[in-house]
Each structure stands twice: as structure tokens, then as C-alpha cells.
Copies of this chain bind each other. A is one copy, B any other.
């Protein structure tokens, strides 16, 4: 049994992580830390756990009793936490925030199993990818690796309200969001950093640099990821379309074959022959991709559940890989479907 500690256990991702781990056959939750909820029943705070656990939140952090710690903090707090606390070297860390996703003066591996499975298996510290970032990358990985990204990339991705977190606000007020639609962080979403990092990592030599416009500006040489994020009026899921312009008109079946081959061994990412719809992935750890070709344009559809494959589902998948467990353990989830 893998012994798990959870920090930030009272938030959205903390709750979803507990929902997963309670049914994971190889995991024991040793502690679920939350200062503000210390002593409260987990099932009193997190929807959907009544009858599944009598465990309570704790203010303690007994790191010596666990094999792995999940950081379910808000962004920026993981790094701060590590400055003030020491976690034993033999305890693995899976950080769900964005603090260590960009390479730098740290040893965190970017945990996208579709491309980094071997590094993940060996790593001690893992940075779990962002939700939009996961969905957009799943749509682009095969083209990136094939060196076909030579022109600006148009990304449109719609997210559910859980992407905005637990704290209520104007744009998550039901009266406002219900039956509504809007955009935000137009062309400036912070997940562009990790997307560009991956695309540049994968691309063969000679293919244009992917410009991280947030750092380099729009005038820098290279191609850009023009990402429009939308607020959808649903709770779970990200639905993404990506339009890539190739240098020459491709044969559609070649592009389809590229995707099928790329995802052949993936545990959760599947190619759909038919144009898919979002609820096929809701409440699962799946990624679904589909492509169609029009002239030189390749249209890619990719979709995930933002809380699962886009957050804690992928984190558990990474944990499974890190501990040599079946990659699908605890993740055979029934899709909501309706």
C-alpha cells in the first residue's frame, strides 16, 4: 500500500483527490491536512463522500509516515511551503500547482505521461500539468513531434466552472454563469508557458521556435499559440479545438494515422473516429482526440475532465507510474455520460 499525505485537502482538487484515493486499491490516506477544517469530517466538507469514510481533516503533517505527499495548494504556495517546511528526502512529492512546471533550478519532472513516462517512473518530485495545458498539448503532441507546427496555432478551449476553483465570485455566480458564455485572459493565459516549453522540447531541429508570448512578446521570431479561453456554463470538462496550418495539403488519413500511432500505448488518451462530445470524458481520466483536414488546415478536437485528467486524475496516474503500480489503478471511472 502506498501511504499518502495530502496538503490543501479541503480545496476542490483536494476533495476530488480524496474521492479517487478512497477507492484506489493500493493506497492508504494517512493524513488529509487542512488548517481551517482541522477536526472536521472530510465527508462534511467534500460532496459525495457520505458513507465512504469517517476520516477527519488534521492540522498535522506527519511526513515520516507517508510515501508521497500531494500538494493541493493554490498556485505559488508550493514553493513558499517548501521554504518553510522540510519534507524527508525519501518522500515523493506530487505538486498540482504551477510552481515547478517550468524547468529551472529544481528537479521536478513535468508529469505528462503521454511524453514523459520514463522520467516520471524514475522521479522523486513531480509537477502535475495544468488543465488547459494538458488538453491543448494532447491535441498538439503528434503534430509537434512530427515537425508539422510551422505556422501560428489557433486554440479555442472552453472550460467548466470548476476550473475557477472553490472560492465564489462574480463569474462563478450561478445567476450569472447559467446559460452564459464569455472569454477571459485572451491570448494571455498562464498555461501558455508550459505548452510552449513542451512544443519546443518535442520539435525536430529546423522547425520554428514556439514563442512564449507572455515572456517574449508578440514580435519575437517564431510561431505563436493564439489561445482563447472561454468560460462555459457547465461544471466539469474542457473542450478544445486547435487549427494548425501545414505547409502543404496533407492526406487526412495520414494525419489520423499519426495520431493513432502516437497514442497507441497511452493508458487514457484515445483517438475517436467520430467527432466526439465533451460528456464522453466527464468524470473520467480520459483524453479524447479527433482530427479532420480541410485544405492545408488540420482541425484537432481534444477534450478532458479538467479535475481528473486535467488535475488529480493525472496526478494519481503519475503516482501509479512513480510507484510501479498499474497505470490505471484506481482510475477505472464510470463516465457520467449524462
A246–chain B nearest beta-carbon distance, Å: 12
Given A218-B295, A243-B226; A279-B334 close (CB under 8 Å): no
Asked if residues B19 and A334 are in contact (CB atoms below 8 Å), the reply is yes
Q: Could you tell me the distance between the alpha carbons of A78 and B170 in the complex, rounded to whole angstroms?
A: 26
Bound form: Cα–Cα A294–B218 in Å: 7
Pair B213/A228 contact, Cβ less than 8 Å: no
The stretch of A65-73, A90-98, A269-277 that contacts the partner chain: A269-277
| Pairwise interchain contact B235-A175, C-beta atoms closer than 8 A | yes
Q: Which residues of the other chain, B, contact A182 by a CB distance below 8 angstroms? A: 239, 275-278
Instruction: Give Cα distance in the complex from A304 to B190, angstroms.
Output: 30
A227–chain B nearest beta-carbon distance, Å: 10
Residue of B nearest to A334 (CB): B19
Give the contact stretch, choosing among A105-113, A116-124, A134-142, A284-292. Answer: A284-292
Which residues on the B side are within 8 Å of A261 (C-beta)?
Answer: none
Copies in the complex: 4
Tell me whether A169 is interfacial, beta carbon within 8 Å.
yes
Q: Is the CB of B19 within 8 A of A50?
A: no
* Contact pattern, A 163-183, Cβ under 8 Å of B = 1, otherwise 0: 010101110111111111111
Asked if A337 and B228 make an inter-chain contact with CB atoms under 8 angstroms apart, the answer reads no
A61, CB-defined interface residue at 8 Å: no
A164 to chain B: closest residue by CB: B175
A30-70 contact mask (Cβ, 8 Å, vs B): 1 or 0: 00000000000000101111110000000000000000000
Do A283 and B168 have beta carbons less than 8 Å apart?
no
Which of the segments A3-11, A153-161, A196-204 contacts the partner chain? A153-161
Residues of B within 8 A of A217 (CB): 295
Given the complex of chains A and B, what is the CA–CA distance between A114 and B299 in angstroms?
32
> By the criterion CB–CB under 8 Å, are B48 and A162 in contact?
no
Is the CB of A282 closer than 8 A to any CB of chain B? yes
Inter-subunit contact B179/A235 (CB<8 Å): yes
A252-274 CB mask vs B (1 if < 8 Å, else 0) is 00000000000000001010101
Which B residues are CB-close (under 8 A) to A47? 176, 277, 279-280, 335, 337-338
Contacting residues, chain B, for A154 (C-beta < 8 A): 154, 243
| Interchain CB contact under 8 A, B178 and A280 | no
Q: How far is the CA of A187 from the CA of B245 in the complex (A)?
A: 14
Known: A187-B299, A218-B296, A224-B295. A239 touches B337 (CB 8 A): no
A residues lining the B interface (CB < 8 Å):
12, 15-16, 19-20, 23, 44, 46-51, 152, 154, 156, 158, 160-162, 164, 166, 168-170, 172-184, 186-187, 213, 217-219, 224, 226, 228, 230, 232-237, 239, 241, 243, 245, 249, 268, 270, 272, 274-284, 286, 288, 292, 294-297, 299, 301, 303, 307, 332-338
A sample of 10 inter-chain contacts (CB < 8 A) reads A48-B284, A51-B268, A154-B154, A168-B170, A172-B175, A176-B277, A178-B179, A178-B233, A218-B249, A226-B243
